[in-house]
């Protein structure tokens, strides 16, 4: 009797558990973190419930899943170790030691206990299988430890645009450490098809009575670039004839602004939206964020006030509304912030100030519509890590390569937001130059 | 699934096992077991590829892609074999009774089981394992690997000569319109002929597994282009000593057999020798136009 009863309980429990897990696994919207073998890296935890972005139904990881998001940046970085370089049978012996063609050889997810900087899960001497004899060709490298190639500020595995030898030789002929550079004027890339390019005034506001109650909002809009460009209330709040919304979606902005949302969706701020999830919130963040910012969600309007369209707000205040780490907190007292204050007060020329965006969402020359344009790169990750990515597009506008490399290799200086001088000197330029003498 | 008692088609010969059908105690259980084994093999076969990625501890991350395709194909084929065996192993009355060819074949299989079933499954496995990525050169009347390599070399060498002479040498050295630079994106310059060659080889490799080609040298600018295999070293020595004769051989790399051909790569223009003689990473500074500076290596998987 008892035995029958317990068997029944066991059966029900087993069926219930298996059924529950199976249901969770099969429901696209369900929180499937129960199946996670370990936490994800800082770069992927934002989309951790979207298992299918990376995994096949049987749990494998597609190489294409990595490339779907990262191929464009690797190509732009002139990837020094592109898989195509090694896809030749003559490399079979090397690939047998370390198959560098697959992203997951070096970047394995869900393994925090072995994950180092940049999500690398190999031991730090991963260069050794192919480059351990480097000192034979490069006397300057004698005595250097093979586990410091990528951590000393000299080399990166993928992106060496600012670190390759000829560039070091060419740029390392030290001029002044710091000079009065300016950022190029910002371009705005819009498709006019979605709007009537006839300037509007407050009288043209076409918001319904319930939403038009806020007079200050209407006045701000009337003075904004949107009104000047003929963009009325309904163009954003009632896109394509849909019902009125107080919070226009990214797609409403993207109807005119094509390039900026692309970058936003490719970076950490927008990657949840790109993965079909709800928008990122400071509450999701692993970095320290301000307590009062926790309820915010990230869309264009979080940083940009679409009514006032003062992009300078987005350049610093937008960031500091949420970010509360040491580097962000130190900005106010940094030399960069002083330059920003000079520009804002009119004492410095346009483009001479250094805001958060100057470095993290920089203005970049890009070929747009057949011409050379300047686009604000809204993918904050494009210039983030490894931080030498930032050198050519950002640092060199005002600083020498020598100072830039040294500063970016000094974590304490970065935490102080570059108040002070680099603590040590990276000898890469000296080494490169010594080979040419 | 058909109900028991459906008559077998008349034109199928009654086998010796038919009369024993009633003597098996649990035909349904036996059927279930055989089917389960078949389904298990099937699932294992398809899960084979991801499974090798997931078995941590047994396989380190760096080894993921090292396993050549053959074992995975074997597992998969075993799964398919198991599936077929599972179906064929079922009592005749639950199989499709229609008089189709499949039913006849199945019936014959059942009549001669288990040796016939084992033979079919084994045959499927062997066929899948043995069916490697041949170049088709062993078919009567097909193109031999050597002819294919020679033909590829003709195209590669012609394009390379045109680019070196009529693009780089003309625009850089003669008319001085634009330079060729290793950092051609940064410098808004022409890619070097060696880079042009390499980009083409990489693009081709993305599109086909029928062949691979590379530009190598005993005196490379990039150390990665020095000979790595015995066949490369022997081939580069041979074409340097006698550029009139290509070098042919076979080698096994990563578990795959290759027909390997090495052809001399000759300096066809001043631009070639000027750059190599001046480059700080070059192992030689005394090349002259007409010298064999390295070799084009073409590999074709065979067997």
CA angle A16, A17, A19 (to 5 degrees): 65
Whether B3 is in a domain gets the answer: no
Task: Spell out the residues 6+ positions from residue B113 whose beta carbon is closer than 8 angstroms to its own.
Answer: B17, B88, B89
A55 three-state secondary structure:
strand
d(CA A74, CA A30): 32
pLDDT of residue A51: 87
Tell which residue, B135, B69, B70, has the closest CA to residue B300. B135
The pLDDT profile of chain B, 303 residues, written as one tens digit per residue, is 333 333 444 344 444 443 344 334 455 666 666 667 666 655 554 444 444 433 333 433 333 344 444 455 555 566 566 555 555 555 444 444 445 555 555 565 555 555 555 655 565 555 555 444 444 444 567 899 999 999 999 999 999 999 999 999 999 999 999 999 999 999 999 999 999 999 999 999 999 999 999 999 999 999 889 999 999 999 999 999 999 999 999 999 999 999 999 999 999 999 999 999 999 889 999 999 999 999 999 999 997
Whether B247 is in a domain gets the answer: yes
Better-scored residue on pLDDT, B107 or A36: A36
Residues B265 and B160 in one domain: yes
Better-scored residue on pLDDT, B93 or A48: A48
pLDDT of residue B282: 92
DSSP 8-state symbol, B14 = P
Touching check for B13 and chain A: CB below 8 Å?
A: no
Alpha helix segments (H runs only) across chain B: 27-54, 69-88, 101-111, 115-130, 145-162, 184-187, 193-207, 230-241, 270-278
d(CA B97, CA A306): 72
Tell which residue, A116, A144, A129, A103, has the closest CA to residue A385. A116
pLDDT of residue A35: 86
Residues B158 and B283 in one domain: yes
Whether B284 is in a domain gets the answer: yes
pLDDT of residue B96: 47
Residues B280 and B155 in one domain: yes
pLDDT of residue B86: 54
The per-residue pLDDT for range A378-427, each reduced to its tens digit, is 999 999 999 999 999 999 999 999 999 999 999 999 999 999 999 999 99
pLDDT of residue B113: 57
Better-scored residue on pLDDT, B158 or A51: B158
pLDDT of residue B192: 96
DSSP 8-state symbol, B168 = I
Q: Do A88 and B62 touch (CB under 8 A)?
A: no
Q: Please give, rounded to a whole number of angstroms, the shortest distance from the CA of B298 to a CA of chain A.
A: 10
Whether B7 is in a domain gets the answer: no
Q: Determine the average pLDDT of the residues in A5-25.
A: 91
Choose the closest CB to B49 out of A60, A88, A121: A60
Touching check for B66 and chain A: CB below 8 Å?
A: yes
Touching check for A166 and chain B: CB below 8 Å?
A: yes
Q: Do A87 and B205 touch (CB under 8 A)?
A: yes
Choose the closest CB to A88 out of B64, B65, B205: B205
Residues B116 and B157 in one domain: no
SS percent in chain B: helix, strand, coil, step 5: 55, 10, 35
pLDDT of residue B98: 46
Q: Determine the average pLDDT of the residues in A15-39.
A: 85
Whether B10 is in a domain gets the answer: no
Q: Do B254 and A121 touch (CB under 8 A)?
A: no
Tell which residue, A360, A379, A389, has the closest CA to residue A156. A389
Long-range Cβ contact pairs of A65-73 (< 8 A, separation 24 or more): A66/A103, A66/A104, A66/A107, A67/A103, A69/A266, A69/A271, A70/A103, A72/A266, A73/A266, A73/A381, A73/A382
List CB contacts (< 8 A) between A88 and chain B.
201, 205, 212, 214, 299
Residue pointed to by tokens 């279930």? B32
Residues B150 and B117 in one domain: no
Touching check for B50 and chain A: CB below 8 Å?
A: yes
d(CA B177, CA A58): 56
Choose the closest CB to B65 out of A91, A102, A106: A102
Q: Determine the average pLDDT of the residues in A313-342.
A: 96
SS percent in chain A: helix, strand, coil, step 5: 50, 5, 45
The per-residue pLDDT for range A136-188, each reduced to its tens digit, is 888 999 999 999 999 889 999 999 999 999 999 999 877 899 999 999 888 77
Residues B183 and B230 in one domain: yes
How would you write A288-306 as a 3-class SS string? CECHHHCCCCCCHHHHCCC
Whether B13 is in a domain gets the answer: no
d(CA B119, CA B113): 10
Q: Across-strand partners of A375?
A: A364
List CB contacts (< 8 A) between A166 and chain B.
182-183
B101 three-state secondary structure:
helix
Touching check for B63 and chain A: CB below 8 Å?
A: yes
Helix then strand count (H, E) for chain B reads 9, 4
Q: Do B63 and A99 touch (CB under 8 A)?
A: yes
User: What dihedral do alpha carbons A14, A16, A17, A21 form, nearest 10°?
Assistant: 140
Residues B106 and B152 in one domain: no
Tell which residue, A236, A234, A207, has the closest CA to residue A219. A207
pLDDT at position A213 over 50? yes
Q: Determine the average pLDDT of the residues in A344-362.
A: 95
Touching check for B73 and chain A: CB below 8 Å?
A: no
List CB contacts (< 8 A) between A167 and chain B.
183, 186
Domain boundary among B77, B106, B130: B130
DSSP 8-state symbol, B180 = B
Tell which residue, B153, B204, B159, B189, has the closest CA to residue B275. B189
Residues B117 and B218 in one domain: no
- B61, B183, B192: best mutation site toward chain A, by most A Cβ within 10 Å? B61
Query: What is the tally of structural domains in chain B?
Result: 2
pLDDT of residue B47: 47
d(CA B108, CA B102): 10
Domain boundary among B130, B161, B177: B130
List CB contacts (< 8 A) between B64 and chain A.
99, 102, 104-105
Could you tell me if B253 and A92 are in contact, meaning their C-beta atoms sit under 8 angstroms apart?
Answer: yes
d(CA A115, CA A122): 8
Residues B284 and B252 in one domain: yes
ipTM computed for the complex: 0.81
Answer positive or negative: Cα dihedral of B115, B120, B126, B129: negative
Q: Do A90 and B53 touch (CB under 8 A)?
A: no
Bridge-based pairing of strands B212-216 and B247-253 is: unpaired
Could you tell me if A367 and A353 are in contact, meaning their C-beta atoms sit under 8 angstroms apart?
Answer: no
pLDDT of residue B61: 39
- Expressed as residue numbers, the domain containing B230 is 145-301
Residues B155 and B266 in one domain: yes
Q: Which residues of A179-196 are buried (b: 16+ CB within 10 A; e: fewer)?
A: eeeebeeebbbbeeebbe
pLDDT at position A113 over 90? yes
Residues B75 and B158 in one domain: no
Q: Do B54 and A59 touch (CB under 8 A)?
A: yes
Residues B191 and B81 in one domain: no
Whether B5 is in a domain gets the answer: no
Could you tell me if A83 and A158 are in contact, meaning their C-beta atoms sit under 8 angstroms apart?
Answer: no
Percent of chain A beyond pLDDT 90?
A: 68
Q: Determine the average pLDDT of the residues in A93-100.
A: 92
d(CA B71, CA B75): 6
């Amino acid at each position: 009797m008892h035995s029958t009863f317990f068997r029944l309980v066991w059966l029900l429990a087993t069926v219930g558990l298996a059924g529950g897990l199976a249901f969770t696994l099969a429901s696209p919207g369900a929180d499937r973190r129960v199946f996670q073998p370990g936490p994800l890296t800082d770069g992927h935890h934002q989309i951790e419930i979207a298992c299918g972005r990376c995994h096949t139904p049987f749990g494998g990881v597609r190489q294409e899943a990595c490339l779907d998001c990262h191929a464009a940046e690797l190509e732009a970085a002139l990837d020094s170790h592109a898989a195509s370089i090694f896809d030749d049978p003559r490399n079979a012996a090397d690939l047998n030691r370390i198959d560098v063609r697959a992203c997951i050889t070096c970047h394995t997810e869900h393994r925090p206990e072995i994950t180092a900087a940049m999500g690398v899960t190999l031991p730090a001497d991963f260069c050794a299988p192919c480059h351990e004899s480097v000192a034979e060709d490069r006397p300057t490298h004698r005595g250097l430890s093979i586990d410091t190639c990528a951590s000393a500020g000299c080399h990166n595995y993928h992106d060496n645009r600012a670190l390759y030898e000829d560039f070091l030789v060419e740029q390392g002929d030290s001029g002044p450490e710091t000079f009065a550079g300016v950022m190029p004027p910002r371009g705005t890339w819009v498709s006019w098809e979605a709007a009537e390019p006839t300037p509007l005034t407050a009288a043209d506001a076409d918001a319904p009575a319930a939403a038009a109650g806020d007079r200050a909002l209407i006045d701000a809009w009337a003075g904004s670039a949107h009104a000047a460009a003929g963009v009325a209330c309904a163009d954003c709040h009632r896109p394509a004839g849909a019902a009125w919304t107080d919070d226009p979606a990214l797609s409403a902005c993207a109807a005119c602004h094509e390039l900026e949302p692309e970058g936003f969706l490719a970076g950490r701020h927008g990657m949840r939206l790109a993965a079909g999830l709800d928008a990122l919130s400071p509450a999701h963040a692993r970095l320290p964020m301000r307590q009062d910012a926790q309820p915010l969600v990230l869309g264009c309007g979080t940083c940009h006030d679409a009514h006032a369209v003062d992009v300078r707000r987005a350049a610093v205040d937008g960031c500091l509304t949420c970010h509360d780490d040491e580097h962000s907190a130190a900005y106010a007292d940094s030399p960069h912030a002083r330059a920003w204050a000079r520009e804002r007060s009119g004492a410095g020329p346009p483009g001479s100030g250094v805001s958060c965006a100057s470095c993290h969402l920089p203005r970049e020359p890009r070929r747009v519509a057949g011409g050379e344009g300047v686009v604000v790169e809204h993918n904050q990750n494009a210039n983030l890590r490894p931080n030498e990515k930032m050198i050519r597009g950002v640092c060199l506008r005002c600083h020498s390569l020598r100072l830039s490399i040294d500063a970016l290799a000094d974590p304490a200086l970065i935490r102080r937001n570059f108040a002070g001088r680099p603590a040590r000197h990276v000898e890469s330029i000296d080494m490169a130059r010594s080979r040419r003498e | 699934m058909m109900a028991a008692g459906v008559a077998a088609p008349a034109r199928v010969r009654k086998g010796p096992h038919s009369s024993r059908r009633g003597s098996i105690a649990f035909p349904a259980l036996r059927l279930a077991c055989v089917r389960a084994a078949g389904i298990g093999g099937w699932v294992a076969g398809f899960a084979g590829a991801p499974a090798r990625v997931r078995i941590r501890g047994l396989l380190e991350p760096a080894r993921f892609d090292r396993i050549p395709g053959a074992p995975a194909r074997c597992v998969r084929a075993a799964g398919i074999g198991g599936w077929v065996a599972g179906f064929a192993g079922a009592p005749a009355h639950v199989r499709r009774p229609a008089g189709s060819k499949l039913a006849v074949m199945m019936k014959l299989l059942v009549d001669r089981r288990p040796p016939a079933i084992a033979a079919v499954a084994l045959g499927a496995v062997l066929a899948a394992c043995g069916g490697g990525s041949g170049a088709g050169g062993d078919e009567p009347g097909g193109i031999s690997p050597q002819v294919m390599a020679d033909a590829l070399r003709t195209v590669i060498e012609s394009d390379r000569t045109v680019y070196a002479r009529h693009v780089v040498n003309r625009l850089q050295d003669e008319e001085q319109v634009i330079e060729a630079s290793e950092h051609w994106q940064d410098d808004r310059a022409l890619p070097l002929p060696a880079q042009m060659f390499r980009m083409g080889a990489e693009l081709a490799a993305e599109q086909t597994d029928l062949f691979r080609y590379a530009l190598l040298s005993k005196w490379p600018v990039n150390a990665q282009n020095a000979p790595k295999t015995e066949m490369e070293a022997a081939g580069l020595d041979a074409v340097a000593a006698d550029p009139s004769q290509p070098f042919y051989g076979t080698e096994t790399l990563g578990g795959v057999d290759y027909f390997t051909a090495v052809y001399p790569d000759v300096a066809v223009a001043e631009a070639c020798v000027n750059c190599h003689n001046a480059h700080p990473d070059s192992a030689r500074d005394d090349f002259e136009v007409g010298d064999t500076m390295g070799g084009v290596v073409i590999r074709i998987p065979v067997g």
